Amino acid sequence: MNKIKLFTLPITILISFVLLLLIIHLILKPFKAKKDEDGNLKLAYGIWFFALFMSGASIVANVVRLSLEVVDNVTKIRPDQLILLIIQSIASITILAFLWFLIWFYVTKFLTKIVVFTGSDGQEMSANNYTYFIIKGSILIGIVLSLSSVLELLLRLVVPNIEVPFYH
């Protein structure tokens, strides 16, 4: 069982962070003005990347914690279909967690439009309006961290459970 944990844990962490960086890349791809006149990254871009990465990393922490629980439960429930059930459960946990991240990303985008009343994110990035991205990043990190217990409850619906028989 420990060998299975030692094998699945690094793979889960690696795949989760690669998916997180891919999603962040796709989110930040529309920004054309990532660098200033000197060729350095803009402060607003760095702040927004940091906020996306930190909120995503907290979600990856939930995924890793629950993937360890999946390995424990599957080895006790169905040792004959061990690999298939572990892959299926961890994949569904990861997909659900990143859907959660994308939902709150778009909620944050909507809330900043209501609160700040600015133009598009591209205009704010080209103007290097880092205070806008501090506000937006704070909203995203705050929402993701405050709702992490709800995410864990939601992800536990996918984790295979051990059925305890009740005897009278």
Q: Compute the half-sphere exposure of residue 79: CA atoms within 13 Å on the CB side of its CA.
A: 4
Q: Find the helix packing angle between 82-116 and 148-156, rounded to 10°.
A: 150
Q: What pLDDT sits at residue 40?
A: 77
Instruction: Please tell me the distance from the alpha carbon of residue 111 to that of residue 20, in angstroms, as a whole number.
Output: 22
pTM as predicted: 0.84
Q: What are the percentages of helix, strand and coil residues in the chain, rounded to 5?
A: 80, 0, 20
Cα atoms found within 13 Å of the Cα of residue 14, Cβ hemisphere only = 6
Q: What is the pLDDT of residue 81?
A: 78
pLDDT in tens, the chain (168 residues): 578 888 888 999 999 999 999 999 998 888 776 766 777 778 888 898 999 999 999 999 999 999 988 888 888 887 787 888 888 889 999 999 999 999 999 998 888 888 877 778 777 777 878 888 898 899 999 999 999 989 888 888 888 776 666 665
* Structure confidence at residue 62 (pLDDT): 92
What pLDDT is recorded for position 164?
A: 66
Please give the pLDDT value at position 126.
77
Contact 55, 107 (CB under 8 A): no
State residue 57's pLDDT score.
94
